[in-house]
A and B are shown apart, each in its own frame.
Chain A
Amino acid sequence: MEGAEARATRELIRRATPQRPVVFNGLRAFLVGGVICGVGQIFLRLYRGQGLPLREAATATSGTMILIGALLTGLGVYDRIGRQGGMGAFLPITGFANAIVSPAMEFKREGFILGVGARMFTVAGPVIVYATAVSVAVGAILWLLGRAG
């Protein structure tokens, strides 16, 4: 559902955008995403070494990576990683943290309630909404099949 004006604007943007180098972008995403996961592996090893079971070590690793992503976003470093890595920077959980922290900082000028508090979920909101809905549906199917629990 979009107006003619929006369609025209999109067409203009499409023509003005140079052809995206799919192979090059893919390679960069692979490398940047791989390196970020390699950093995650350091923490996974660390937490496993502390005697945490895999599930708990995974949760702790995610939390640590979110913290790192938030810090690098605050310092303005993650935007540069994002420009290089594309989905290699946005698919890892550090990118999820970036998607929350970046608008939270940017919309500080609109206040802490409707600026920071609301805008931090611009991208994270849809992710949480559909992850929740799909996981409940999957869980319900497993339960009906007698495969949950």
Chain B
Amino acid sequence: MDFALAFLVGGALCLAAQLVLDLTRVTPAHVMVLFVSLGAVASGAGLYEPLVKLGGAGAIVPLPAFGHALVDGIVREVGRTGPLGLLTGGFDAVALGLTVAVVSALLAAAIFNPRG
């Protein structure tokens, strides 16, 4: 059941992104920026957490979750340390993802060669 919901929620987000890509003249990078921003806005409106509860990885794996994690981290840190959390909570929440991405990119560049 949770697999079906992850598939449906994640698939629906990707379908929406593909429609934006195909029905406008923007690049995938533009769509990624749009959806990560929408994720942050939806999180602030209290809409993204229910989507995570419903779809599990279907809401956690797509990029809007990155925006959600930033807002979620900010809200938590503001609660703990006050307004300074506006500037620290976001990166705190996404530190693991960004660190893994940067380090693995560096390693991949060192190990692998591009093909084609």
Contacts and interface: CB of A to CB of B under 8 A. Distances in A.
Contacts of A112: 109
Interface in B1-49: 2-3, 6-15, 17-23, 28-29, 31-33, 35-37, 39-41, 43-44
A55 to B, nearest CB: 7
A108 B115 CA distance: 12
> Which secondary structure dominates where chain B touches chain A?
helix
Contact of B33 (A73, A130, A147): A130
Interface string A23-50: 0011111111111111111011100000
> Which secondary structure dominates where chain A touches chain B?
helix
B66 A131 contact: yes
Given A44-B57, A91-B31, A123-B29, A135 B101 contact: no
Contacts of A95: 32, 63
A63 B97 contact: yes
B79 A149 contact: yes
A108 B105 CA distance: 11
Interface residues of A, number: 84
A74 B112 contact: yes
A52 interface: no
Contacts of B9: 37
Interface in A115-131: 116-117, 120, 123-124, 126-128, 130-131
B104 A126 contact: no
Contacts of B104: 66-67, 70-71, 97, 101
- Which 4 residue pairs of A and B lie closest in terms of their CB atoms, listed nearest first? A33-B14, A37-B10, A149-B79, A34-B11
Given A30-B15, A33-B15, 18 more contacts: A41-B2, A58-B69, A59-B69, A70-B105, A75-B112, A86-B21, A97-B105, A104-B105, A105-B109, A105-B112, A127-B32, A128-B98, A135-B67, A136-B90, A139-B44, A139-B89, A142-B74, A149-B85
30 contacts: A25-B21, A29-B15, A34-B11, A35-B7, A37-B58, A40-B57, A41-B7, A54-B52, A59-B96, A63-B100, A74-B108, A75-B112, A76-B112, A88-B15, A90-B28, A96-B66, A97-B104, A101-B108, A101-B109, A105-B114, A108-B114, A126-B29, A127-B33, A127-B63, A130-B33, A130-B37, A131-B37, A134-B41, A136-B90, A139-B78
